[in-house]
RNA sequence: GCGGCUAUAGUUCAGUGGCAGAACGCCGCUCUGUGGCAGCGGAUGUCGUGGGUUCGACCCCCACUGGCCGCCCCA
C-alpha cells in the first residue's frame, strides 16, 4: 500500500468542530473594526522577496532565515512590464501582512486622497520555523493598519490610543480573560540606532557576569539582553540604561499623549521598557498583548506598533502609520483553553445541535423525508435526514446526538400529513400537522447560540 | 536551525526480547413505531516509516518523519 499523504509540517486542517470558533472570532473582528471605520483589504499571499527585505529588514530573523522563498522561472517571451530582458524573480510567501498592505497603499496611490486610511486584513501568513504550540508554518493573522500622509493626522497619538482601545475591546468582547497590555516606545529610527550603541557600551563591563545566551546577545543583538528570562541576570539588566530615557523629546511627548488617552479610555496597561520587537520598521509606540492561558511559552497574543518610516522605505511618500497583528491561532488556543476551564467548572458540554432529525421509518418514506427536509431548511431550520433502512432505535440514537427534535415519518404520517415530533430535552411527544411543523421546531435556540450561525 | 522527550485500536493510554491489551467510543443482539440505562457478544491494529542486531523485535540500536517541550525568535 502507498503511504498516505499528510498535511505538510507546520500546517494543519481545521475541521468543522473548530471552524465555528474561528468564524466567531473573525466575525467579531469584522463587526468591531467596521465600527471604527476600517475597511477590509486582501493582498496577495505571494510578494516579491524584496518587499520583505526592505520592509521587515534584511537582518531580522524573519527575513534572514524564516521565509519560504524561491526563484520564479525566467520569462521566455520577455514581454510586459519587466521588459524583454526579464529575469527570474525571487518570490516569497508573505511572513506578515503589514509590508504588503503598505505596498498596496503605495501602489494604489492612497496617499493622494489626503485621507487617513484604515485597513484591516484576515489571512494566512507563512514562516519556516520549527512548529510548536501556538506556532505554525502557516498561521493566521488578523491585523489592521492606520496610515496616511502627515496632514491626515496619521501621526497623532490619538490613533495609537484608538488602536489599543479597540484591541482591548476586541479581547473583552471575545471573553479573553487575564490579558495584559505591555506598552513601550522605542523612539524614532535614529533614537533606536543611538540607544543600541549606548546599550552595547553599557554591556561591555558587565558582560562576563551575564548568562551564556546574554554574553552572545551583547554582541549580536544587545536589545535582546533586555528580554532575558534568567533570574540572576535581572538585577544587572535592571541597572542598564532604559530606552525611555534615550528617546527624543518629540517621541516622549507623543508617548505621554498616548498614555493619557489610554487612561482617559480606562484601558489598563503596563509599561515595559524592555519590550523588544523584532521587525525593523517599528518606531515610537510598540505594544504586545499577552495572556497566561493556553499558550505555553508563546504568551504573546498579538503585537504591533508604529511604523512612521515604512512607506518611504518601500519607495512611497512619507506616510506615518500604526498597526497590529493578532495571532489568530494563539487567540483560538486561548479561547479553547478557557472553554475547557469553564467546562470543568460547570460540567456543561459545549455543542451546537440541529433543530430536527427526520427519521423515515422505511425506505419507502425516504423521498418524502428529503422533500420535508428541503421544506424545513427553506424555512431556515437546521435539519438532518436519516435513512429508512435504519432501525428506529438507531434513528433515535443518532437523532439524540445531533438534534433537539426527532420527526418520525412512517406510513401513518405520510398518509395523514401529521407528524410525530419528540423533543429530547423534555421527552414530550406531540402530533403536528405539516403546515405548523416549521414554526413548532423553531422554539428555543440551540445551546451554541453564542456562536455565529 | 540546535537540544530534550515522545510515537501501540477511532480516542486516551497500559504493556513484555517469545500469541497485541484496558477504558471510552463504534457495530450487533436482548428490543421490527420510541433514544438516554443495563446485560451479552463483536471488530478494533502494518505497535509512525525504513534499515540493523537477534533463532525470534511492539520492546534493543541507527536513520527518517510527525507531535510535545526548551533554545533562537515571533503572532
Nearest Cα neighbor of A416 from A428, A432, A402 is A432
Rounded to an integer, the average pLDDT of A274-291 is 86
What was the pLDDT predicted at A259? 97
Identify the band that residue A452 occupies on the pLDDT scale cut at 50, 70 and 90: very low
Indicate if the pLDDT at residue A364 is higher than 50: yes
User: Is residue A322 within 8 Å of A306, Cβ to Cβ?
Assistant: yes
CB-count exposure of residue A194 (10 Å: 0-12, 13-18, 19+): middle
What was the pLDDT predicted at A76? 57
CATH class of the A354-442 domain in this structure: alpha beta
The CA–C1' separation of A3 and B56, in angstroms, is 28
> What would the pLDDT profile of A56-66 be if each residue is shown by its tens digit?
988 888 998 89
Handedness of CA A144, A148, A150, A154 (dihedral sign): negative
E strands within A307-392? 321-327, 354-360, 383-385
- In a 3-state reduction of DSSP, which class is residue A119? strand
Nucleotide in closest CA–C1' contact with A217: B72
- The protein residue nearest nucleotide B27, judged by CA to C1', is A394
CA-to-CA distance for A91 and A69, rounded, in angstroms?
6
> What would the pLDDT profile of A211-231 be if each residue is shown by its tens digit?
777 777 777 777 777 777 666
The CA–C1' separation of A301 and B6, in angstroms, is 28
Provide the 8-state DSSP code for A444. Answer: S
> What would the pLDDT profile of A367-398 be if each residue is shown by its tens digit?
999 999 999 999 999 999 998 888 898 999 99
Nearest Cα neighbor of A208 from A241, A242, A243, A232 is A232
The CA–C1' separation of A303 and B47, in angstroms, is 44
What are the boundaries of each domain within chain A?
19-69+88-188+247-341, 354-442
The CA–C1' separation of A5 and B59, in angstroms, is 28
Residue A428's φ and ψ, nearest 5 degrees, are: -75, 135
Give ipTM to 2 decimals: 0.84
The CA–C1' separation of A437 and B53, in angstroms, is 71
Q: Which triple of cell numbers denotes residue A223?
A: 536589545
What was the pLDDT predicted at A345? 67
Nucleotide in closest CA–C1' contact with A398: B35
Identify the band that residue A83 occupies on the pLDDT scale cut at 50, 70 and 90: low
- The protein residue nearest nucleotide B67, judged by CA to C1', is A132
The CA–C1' separation of A220 and B27, in angstroms, is 63
Q: Please state the CATH superfamily assignment of the domain spanning residues A19-69+88-188+247-341 in this structure.
A: Bira Bifunctional Protein; Domain 2 (3.30.930.10)
Nucleotide in closest CA–C1' contact with A224: B73
CA-to-CA distance for A324 and A285, rounded, in angstroms?
11
Which positions of chain B lie under 7 Å from any protein Cβ?
1-3, 26-29, 31-36, 46, 49, 65-75
- The protein residue nearest nucleotide B73, judged by CA to C1', is A61
The CA–C1' separation of A18 and B39, in angstroms, is 37
Nucleotide in closest CA–C1' contact with A395: B35
Amino acid at each position: 500500500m502507498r503511504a498516505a499523504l499528510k498535511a505538510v509540517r507546520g500546517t494543519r486542517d481545521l475541521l468543522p468542530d473548530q471552524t465555528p470558533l474561528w468564524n466567531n472570532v473573525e466575525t467579531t473582528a469584522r463587526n468591531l473594526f467596521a465600527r471604527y471605520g476600517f475597511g477590509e483589504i486582501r493582498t496577495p499571499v505571494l510578494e516579491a522577496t524584496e518587499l520583505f527585505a526592505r520592509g521587515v529588514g534584511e537582518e531580522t530573523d524573519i527575513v534572514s532565515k524564516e521565509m519560504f522563498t524561491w526563484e520564479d522561472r525566467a520569462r521566455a517571451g520577455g514581454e510586459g512590464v519587466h521588459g524583454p530582458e526579464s529575469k527570474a524573480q525571487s518570490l516569497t510567501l508573505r511572513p506578515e501582512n503589514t509590508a504588503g498592505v503598505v505596498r498596496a497603499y503605495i501602489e494604489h496611490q492612497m496617499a493622494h486622497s489626503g485621507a487617513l486610511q484604515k485597513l484591516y486584513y484576515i489571512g494566512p501568513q507563512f514562516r519556516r520555523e520549527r512548529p510548536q504550540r501556538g506556532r505554525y508554518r502557516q498561521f493566521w493573522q488578523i491585523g489592521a493598519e492606520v496610515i496616511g500622509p502627515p496632514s491626515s493626522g496619521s501621526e497623532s497619538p490619538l490613533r495609537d490610543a484608538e488602536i489599543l482601545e479597540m484591541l482591548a475591546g476586541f479581547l473583552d468582547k471575545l471573553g479573553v480573560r487575564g490579558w495584559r497590555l505591555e506598552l513601550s516606545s522605542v523612539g524614532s529610527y535614529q533614537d533606536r540606532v543611538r540607544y543600541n550603541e549606548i546599550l552595547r557600551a553599557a554591556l561591555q563591563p558587565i558582560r562576563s557576569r551575564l548568562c551564556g545566551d546574554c554574553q552572545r546577545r551583547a554582541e549580536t543583538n544587545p536589545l535582546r539582553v533586555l528580554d532575558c528570562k534568567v533570574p540572576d541576570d535581572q538585577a544587572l539588566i535592571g541597572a542598564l540604561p532604559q530606552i525611555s530615557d534615550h528617546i527624543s523629546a518629540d517621541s516622549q511627548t507623543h508617548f505621554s499623549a498616548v498614555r493619557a488617552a489610554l487612561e482617559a479610555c480606562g484601558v489598563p496597561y503596563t509599561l515595559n521598557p524592555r519590550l523588544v520587537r523584532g521587525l525593523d520598521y517599528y518606531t515610537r509606540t510598540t505594544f504586545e498583548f499577552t495572556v497566561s492561558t493556553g499558550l505555553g511559552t508563546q504568551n504573546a497574543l498579538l503585537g504591533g506598533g508604529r511604523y512612521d518610516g515604512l512607506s518611504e522605505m518601500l519607495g512611497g511618500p512619507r506616510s506615518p502609520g500604526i498597526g497590529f497583528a493578532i495571532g489568530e491561532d494563539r487567540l483560538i488556543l486561548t479561547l479553547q483553553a478557557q472553554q475547557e476551564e469553564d467546562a470543568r467548572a460547570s460540567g456543561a458540554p459545549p455543542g451546537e445541535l440541529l433543530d430536527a432529525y427526520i427519521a423515515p421509518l422505511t425506505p419507502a418514506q425516504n423521498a418524502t423525508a428529503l422533500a420535508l427536509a428541503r421544506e424545513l431548511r427553506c424555512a431556515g431550520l437546521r435539519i438532518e435526514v436519516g435513512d429508512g433502512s435504519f432501525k428506529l432505535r438507531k434513528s433515535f440514537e443518532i437523532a439524540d446526538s445531533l438534534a433537539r427534535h426527532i420527526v418520525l415519518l412512517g406510513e401513518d404520517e405520510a398518509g395523514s400529513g401529521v407528524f410525530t415530533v419528540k423533543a429530547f430535552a423534555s421527552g414530550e411527544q406531540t402530533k403536528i400537522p405539516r403546515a405548523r411543523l416549521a414554526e413548532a421546531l423553531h422554539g428555543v435556540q440551540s445551546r451554541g447560540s453564542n456562536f455565529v450561525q
